[in-house]
A and B are shown apart, each in its own frame.
Chain A
Amino acid sequence: MKYRAKIEVSLKPGHTDPEGNTTQRLLKELGYSVDAVNVNKVYSIQLEASALKEAKIKAEEMAKRLLANPTKDNYTIEVEEQK
């Protein structure tokens, strides 16, 4: 079966996000009242698995083994079957 996993990696609270801070500064310059900007990364992954549960386990492994560094990153995973 084919599945699509969406893995979003974000910075854990407390760590500085230079890219977000710089973006926020410019958005303010442009006249927007912006309190905070955080820049996240989204990986959209098409994968094969025997069932939804297995697809979720695989996606979790991918996040842990490569896509996120537990020192500074949080991640969320959404998996859905592809029609």
Chain B
Amino acid sequence: MKLQDIRVCVMRVGGTNCDAETQRAFHELGVQADVRHLNELVKQRNLLDYHMLVFPGGFSYGDYVRSGAIFARMLTAKLGKDLRSFIDQNRPILGICNGFQILVEEGLLPGFEGVSDFPEASLANNSRGYRCQWVYLKNENKSKCIFTTKIPKGKVLRMPIAHGEGRFLFPKEKEEALLQKLIDNDMVALRYCSKDGADANGKYPANPNGSFHDIAGICNREGTVFGLMPHPERAFYWWQQPDWTSQQAMPQFGDGKLIFESLLDHFAKKL
């Protein structure tokens, strides 16, 4: 599939943010991306015109009830059928920050046995409240996740987080068994780590929110639905990085670009 034929839908509602940055990242790579309001898609019923869907960051519906909970139920109620077809056809879905919370609340992630009626995990409130900081990440996905294939082996990525609720957790009594299931099915993708790539072991600041197993991003069984708390679109250009003024030779892009490139590589291989 040619890059210019790919159509991406960045879905927004009240309280969404970074939708423009996400759209710009796709545009930079030569892909058509539209920012569409949920109500618009409901009215025009054209979600299936798109090849992929992105739920961007933010605080949809004011983060009321729980982050992502209202957006997720609204989706099911208003666009459930179209979304189901979208998923059944394995069209990629990316959830960034609040988008990850939405995918978990919607039962799409982890989705051990396919889409679940109730959330199988939670992105709970952070151990240190709202955090906005740069973090280090490593990719632990072997091959399944289509969003991380372009990350060079052993590379430590740098991206920012900005959330109050991102502490990934499973039901306490089942957490070890479910983690094993995640690992066995190659659904763990990004984990927080230290600058040199060493395990964070749940310790702040390498693990910024107390997330179980230092989980920052996971994918579904098929590898086509991916959610992560860090913001790749805010680490796309070199000038978005916090130390850009002090560096002599800056790379042209930031590490976030690798996520978008992996995805486009998936499309390039298709058809």
- Mark A residues whose CB is within 8 Å of B: 12-16, 18-19, 22, 64-67, 69-72
A71 and B125 contacting across the interface, CB-CB below 8 Å: no
B119 and A66 contacting across the interface, CB-CB below 8 Å: no
Chain B: interface residue count, which band? 20 to 34
B118 and A14 contacting across the interface, CB-CB below 8 Å: no
CA distance A15 to B170 in the complex (A): 10
Determine the main DSSP class of A at the interface with B. loop
CA distance A66 to B119 in the complex (A): 10
B127 and A15 contacting across the interface, CB-CB below 8 Å: no
Partner of B172, one of A15, A64, A66: A15
Min CB–CB distance A77 → chain B (angstroms): 16
CA distance A37 to B207 in the complex (A): 25
Min CB–CB distance A70 → chain B (angstroms): 5
Q: Please name all residues of chain B whose beta carbon is closer than 8 Å to the beta carbon of A72 when the two chains form the complex.
A: 122, 124, 169, 171
B127 and A70 contacting across the interface, CB-CB below 8 Å: no
Contacts A69-B66, A72-B122; is A12 near B172 (CB within 8 Å)? yes
Q: Please name all residues of chain A whose beta carbon is closer than 8 Å to the beta carbon of B121 when the two chains form the complex.
A: 71
CA distance A19 to B167 in the complex (A): 13
Q: Please name all residues of chain A whose beta carbon is closer than 8 Å to the beta carbon of B105 when the two chains form the complex.
A: 69
Q: Is B126 an interface residue (CB 8 A)?
A: yes
Interface string of B111-122 (1 = CB under 8 A from A): 000000011111
Min CB–CB distance B82 → chain A (angstroms): 20
Interface centre among B69, B70, B210 (most CB of A within 10 A): B69
Q: List 19 A-B contacts (CB under 8 A).
A: A12-B172, A15-B169, A18-B125, A18-B129, A64-B118, A66-B65, A69-B66, A69-B69, A69-B105, A69-B118, A69-B119, A70-B118, A70-B171, A71-B119, A71-B120, A71-B121, A71-B122, A71-B170, A72-B124
B69 and A66 contacting across the interface, CB-CB below 8 Å: yes
CA distance A18 to B127 in the complex (A): 5
B120 and A18 contacting across the interface, CB-CB below 8 Å: no
Q: Please name all residues of chain B whose beta carbon is closer than 8 Å to the beta carbon of A65 when the two chains form the complex.
A: 73
